[in-house]
Amino acid sequence: MSDITVYQPDFLFAEGRFHEGRALAVGADGRVLDAVPEGARVERLAGRALLPGLVNGHSHAFQRLIRGRTEYVASAGGQDDFWSWREAMYRAAEALTPEEIHVASRQVFLEMVLAGITTVGEFHYLHHQSDGTPYADRNALAHAVIRAATDVGLRICLLRVGYARAGFNVPANPRQRRFIDADVDTFLSTTEALAHATRGDARVNVGLAPHSVRAVSRDWLTQVARAAPAGMPIHMHVAEQPKEIEACLAEHGRRPVELVSDVGLLGPRFTAVHGVHLTEDEVALLGRAQATVCACPSTERNLGDGIVPADALVKAGARVSFGSDSQTVVDLLDEARQLEQHLRLVRLRRAVLDPGTGTLDGLAARLFDMATVQGARSLGMGTGTLSPGSPADFFTVDVNHPSLVGAGATSLLPGIVFGAAGGAVREV
């Protein structure tokens, strides 16, 4: 039994709530066992609450390099917005060597682990050399990012991005040369090659990510919908900025979610990243498809994007997950609390996403489910829960930390989701 470890925290999160006096048994294969066997090695975690690892559904790892370097108006008398920020991001993207991409990714992935994140979805669009020439291995940079994640013990879904153009009726932007694939067949075959190369590694999954309606044509989207391997996650930036919607209407006469639905991409394995500027009809389409919307509140507030209408999405039947996106901060619990608190500002009431259970921890449980179960679902990963047979990916918090002291079994989850300081996270 020495190859089985039983973790005994003060509080164990299972079946959607905390339990006192329960333990987590983990087999030699790193998976959760359905019972605590006699004679197993016991590791007491006194003063700790143990929870399933957080799932970061949307990340651009290299953007960690520009944290704190874009918080000003660059031109006298001008203004700063998403589009001016994007140019600063492009300058960083075009300057990085493969080794620098690996180091930068490893640094932010370590930051994620220290925040209790155990799985990340990396929306990866740095593919080529600085002049746009493909590497001999077209997935060289993807492998560098995957290696960075596994170096620090993080599971990763590498969402390989398809990028074809600067936009509708927009001239080519030389700063996007590292992103552009020659055609949709190259994008699909290169993604399949990456999936084949990582097959059998339980730490790695691969998904398809047509970047946005700006960056790819309707024909690209149609072919991705037809050719995507069964079960492979599909992620896409959707309705982040009003200009994106205006361009989509000009080119297609359809809004972004309507276009995605028309071409057959919308479904349970589709994740719309951001989904800020949605009509009621688009919300209904996402709900009927049981698609996921990955909200990234820290980035959406930093870039002035707007607020994800998560209350309407949940009511319609869509799923919601969270991402750190531009790495303005790396704190998925903060993403969860800010989504709710942003909605309070615009709805002018409290507990907007409360499920109506009448319990103290109902709202916190819904937000934590988004930060774990729904994120894992959107990435096609079997994480986000500590049910029997699942990977035993977990983190602990110090229940005696000043930000949590005094919490009991029923108030602990709301205390963690709405008030825990980053220093409360301990073992991962």
Active site positions, annotated: 274, 325
> Taking the CA of residue 370 as centre, how many other CA atoms within 13 Å lie in the half-sphere pointing to its CB?
34
| 260 vs 244: CA distance, rounded Å | 14
| 396 vs 407: CA distance, rounded Å | 15
> Taking the CA of residue 318 as centre, how many other CA atoms within 13 Å lie in the half-sphere pointing to its CB?
31
Give bridge partners of residue 18 from the DSSP assignment. Answer: 13
| Amino acid letter for position 160 | R
Nearest alpha carbon to residue 91 among 61, 52, 65:
65
Label each residue of 269-305 as H, E or C. Answer: CEEEEECCCCCHHHHHHHHHCCCEEEECHHHHHHCCC
Beta strands in 267-401 (DSSP E): 270-274, 292-295, 319-322, 394-398
Q: Cβ distance 424 to 398 under 8 Å?
A: yes
| 41 vs 69: CA distance, rounded Å | 48
* DSSP at 391: B
What sign does the CA torsion over 400, 406, 407, 409 have? positive
The token duo for 89 is 């991001």
Give bridge partners of residue 6 from the DSSP assignment. Answer: 25, 42
Whole-Å CA distances, 6 to 26, 28, 364, 392, 425: 6, 11, 27, 11, 20
| 55 vs 62: CA distance, rounded Å | 18
